[in-house]
Structure 1
Amino acid sequence: AMIARGEAPRAQFSQDGRRIWTINAANDQGIRSQAKVWDATTGALLWSVDSAYDVTAALWVGPGGEKLLTSSHLGECNDDEIMIWNARDGKPIKSWGPGGPSRLWGGSM
């Protein structure tokens, strides 16, 4: 099974090893910046969300694997977005930006 098509600059396993979270950057072949969750055993895609941003630069998984945090940007500090997602179904929980200080390069949940 193919886990990622194109570049996947960030990947993280769940604590139990059953899931893999990946993020990738947009490219000139029509691939959009995305966050994805995969079944680590079968390679099946469980859910995926597209970003309107060029780069999803950071990825963190919260304790217990229930929440996923992504940080995305277009290149300008005022065009950034931080999102917290439900890691089980990909539904957004909370977002910050754009239009304010919302770039995140490191951290933990």
Structure 2
Amino acid sequence: MAYIDVHRQEFGVEPICEVLQVAPSTYYAAKSRAPSLRSRTDEATTARIRQVHADNYAVYGVRKMHAELNRQGHRVARCTVHRLMRRAGLRGITRGRGPRTTVPAPGPDMRPDLVER
């Protein structure tokens, strides 16, 4: 729908729909229909998530965000919090590094030069 909105002045709705193999009535129905309950709920929940994220210095990830929202009485599933945080570009802060898999030897490199460089 957004693509058609951008190019409708230049080409018209019907030619664009013909190329995209979409019925023009589908476009007009989508434009006239009210937003779904999920999209309205997602907007409200995303606003709440942004507020909690900002109040907690932008350090909460999905797990802590879900717990905080439930403590505040805003019941929402953890997978929903994950989806909305990812869509809004919000991430938590990780304290640690990854695991250290290689430890260098303490002394000088004593391996022989087998190709005689």
Q: TM-score normalised by the shorter chain: which range applies?
A: under 0.3
Q: Which one has the bigger helix percentage? A: 2
The two structures have a TM-score, normalised by structure 2, of 0.17
Q: State TM-score, norm by structure 1.
A: 0.18
Question: Which one has the bigger strand percentage?
Answer: 1
- Greater Rg, structure 1 or structure 2? 2
